[in-house]
Amino acid sequence: MSPKRVMSVAVAIVTLLLGRAGAQAPRAHKLIVTPATAVWGFFSATKPPILTVASGDSVEIATVLEAAETMTRLGVDEKWITDEMRAIDQVTDRGPGAHLLIGPVAVKEAAPGDVLELRIRDIKVREPFALNVFRPGGGTLPSEFPVARTAVIPLDLKANVARFAGTTIPLHPFFGVLGVAPPVMTGRISSGPPGYYAGNLDNKDLVAGTTLYIPVQVAGALLYVGDGHAGQGDGEVDGTAIECSLIGTFQLIIRKDLKFRWPRAETPTHYMTMGFSEDLNEAARMATHEMVEFLRERFHLTADDAYMLASMAADLHVTQNVDRVKGVHAMIAKSIFAAP
pLDDT at 11: 40
* CATH superfamily for domain 269-340: Acetamidase/Formamidase-like domains (3.10.28.20)
Tell me the pLDDT of the chain averaged across its residues. 93
Under 8 Å between Cβ of 272 and 265: yes
- pTM (2 decimals)? 0.92
Q: What is the pLDDT of residue 21?
A: 44
When pLDDT is cut at 50, 70 and 90, the band that residue 2 belongs to is low
Residue 117 is predicted with a pLDDT of 98
For position 1, what pLDDT does the model report?
52
Residue 222: is its pLDDT beyond 70?
A: yes
The mean per-residue pLDDT over the stretch 218-223 comes to 98
pLDDT-based confidence at 56, cuts 50/70/90? very high
Residue 276 pLDDT = 98
Residue 236 confidence (pLDDT) above 70: yes
Residue 79: strand, helix, or coil: helix
User: Who wins on pLDDT, 9 or 98?
Assistant: 98
How confident is the model at residue 12, as a pLDDT? 44
Q: Could you read off the pLDDT of 295-330 as tens digits, one per residue?
A: 999 999 999 999 999 999 999 999 999 989 999 999
Higher pLDDT, 199 or 24: 199
Kindly give, in sequence order, each residue whose CB lies less than 8 Å from that of residue 274, ignoring residues fewer than 6 positions away. Answer: 201, 203, 262, 263, 264, 265, 286, 287, 290, 319, 327, 328, 329, 330
142-178 pLDDT, tens digit each: 999 999 999 999 999 999 999 999 999 999 999 999 9
Over residues 100-124, the pLDDT tens digits come to: 999 999 999 999 999 999 999 999 9
| Segment 206-212 mean pLDDT | 98
Q: How far is CA 208 from CA 14, 56, 120, 257, in A?
A: 39, 17, 5, 24
Q: How far is CA 29 from CA 19, 39, 62, 83, 105, in A?
A: 24, 19, 12, 23, 11
pLDDT of residue 138: 83
* Closest to 105 measured CA to CA, from 176, 173, 57: 57
> Residue 69's Cα: distance from chain center in Å?
26
| 67 half-sphere exposure, CB direction, 13 A CA radius | 20
Lowest pLDDT segment from 12-21, 176-185, 230-239, 270-279: 12-21
Q: Domain segments of the chain: what residues?
A: 23-258, 269-340
DSSP labels for 51-73?
EEE-TT-EEEEE--S--HHHHHH
- Comparing 23-258 with 269-340, is the CATH topology the same? no
The predicted pLDDT at position 217 comes to 98
User: Which of 19-23, 163-167, 278-282 bottoms out in mean pLDDT, i.e. has the lowest?
Assistant: 19-23
Highest mean pLDDT, choosing among 5-14, 21-30, 278-287: 278-287
Range of lowest pLDDT (102-106, 248-252, 336-340): 336-340
Q: Are strands 167-170 and 149-156 parallel, antiparallel or unpaired?
A: unpaired
Closest alpha carbon to 283 in 220, 217, 234? 234
| pLDDT (0 to 100) of residue 259 | 94
CATH architecture group of domain 23-258: Sandwich (2.60)
β pairing state of 58-62 and 28-31: parallel
